[in-house]
Chain A
């Protein structure tokens, strides 16, 4: 159970992200506790994805993107980690659009363990099966593990992406609107898995479906126009106790 006393996994201080002078988010301060599912809701353009990119240093891909403030992962500033690859391998990310890498389904999931140095086929087999099962994909692909990952359907690729993130055995799992390409039934199955995963890792769940945040998240933050409007216990946020009127309007579906 996550309590006030749980250790802090990720601490964000005065985070601001801009693209060539255009501010995407600014003044974000929040702490995410270990073994917490932290929900982030908000309409498009609220800066949710920019926020995520700053966490695992994806800004390095985009020379246009400027990050200010501090992101502390396990108390250490991610911008001062010399080995950014080691940082990223401890943070699993599931992107909103599924990306099946152009290699076999098996290799998609075995890649990260292999990068970690696991070579035994038997050991890899176990990891691949476990991760695919958790991502609710095993039954559909177990007979064709050597087809190209990029040839799976959109929803399958999305679950493959989740399996791949799990294969990293991450300390922090970031899901950016994972259910966009997944049907409702599968979404529920993955949600159940996420609840189990809580005991092993910390999860940040960015979602367009406010009810998904309500079902899963311990605490939820509401982002709007590059600003973190409010952070609260999820139940409080959804039961008319949100302190900001914009949050209340959003969770009740009056805009966004």
Chain B
């Protein structure tokens, strides 16, 4: 090594030294990288697992036309099992649809009130309450559906069964609303105050400010909140299992009992022999649910990007 001049040797040493800060920085980078990449690993892992369990059946035995087109779900029939999920899809879709019909106006209304109209203590308390509501376990909601809503619906509408699309839709709507409210409120809060001040300085009323300025500016976040609610509706299991009546049925009205895709998996997976056709078809439903959720998220992403571009 060349003998460095006196002047530069001090510098060279400092540049070359790997001190504690350097090691901590490297370690943090590695940890954060692992954290970041673990999300991808888990998703791919889960997808591989459910595909592995369901794929054999999907390729060898399953008749796709029957799977999507038939309303008959009798997987435990020993002589001629039937694997049609049409009724289950109809169940999930009807309950989620009704739930959104209830949750969207509720959550957007609450979010607008909290973010734009409420002040001081009222706002703080409302936020705490909404977060508290969001933390109620789904089995509790299912319990409410079973023991309160059920007799209520029977009495109010004079129908024989209260465990119906209506029941589950209301329960699921109330369940999804708090988390949607929370996300929507964040979206509204993210709109800079200078927009509000500018519009209000022009003499716009509070409502005009919200409707003309804040909502358009927050529409991406609001859409995100709604799609999150839809995703929640598709994925929710326990409350739906308890409140729908769990009957394989294409609903003709909100007073019919239905059965959801998720609830079917939850209720039947424990009773099937590992590797059996029944076991595998449940995993096929899992793949299907996975794809739907993926599609919802992708659509949300594309819409949001589209809005951003224009």
Contacts and interface: CB of A to CB of B under 8 A. Distances in A.
Interface of A: 56, 58, 61, 63, 85-93, 95, 97, 99, 101-103, 111-112, 115, 161, 164-165, 168
A103 B201 contact: no
**Central interface residue in B198, B199, B205, B217, by most chain A CB within 10 Å:** B198
Interface in B144-186: none
Contacts of B196: 61
Contact of B201 (A88, A102, A115): A88
B201 to A, nearest CB: 5
A112 B195 contact: no
B275 interface: no
A63 B120 contact: yes
A61 B197 contact: yes
19 contacts: A63-B119, A85-B204, A86-B203, A89-B203, A93-B201, A95-B194, A99-B197, A101-B198, A102-B195, A102-B216, A103-B212, A103-B216, A111-B199, A115-B202, A115-B203, A115-B208, A161-B198, A165-B202, A168-B202
> Which range holds the interface residue count of chain B?
20 to 34
Interface in B203-262: 203-205, 208, 212-213, 216-217
A91 B200 CA distance: 11
A59 B205 CA distance: 15
Contact of A58 (B120, B201, B208): B201
Given A101-B195, A102-B217, A103-B212, A111 B202 contact: yes
Contacts of A164: 198, 202
A152 B120 CA distance: 35
**Central interface residue in B201, B216, B217, by most chain A CB within 10 Å:** B201
B201 A101 contact: no
A117 B217 CA distance: 23
Contacts of A63: 119-120
A86 B208 CA distance: 13
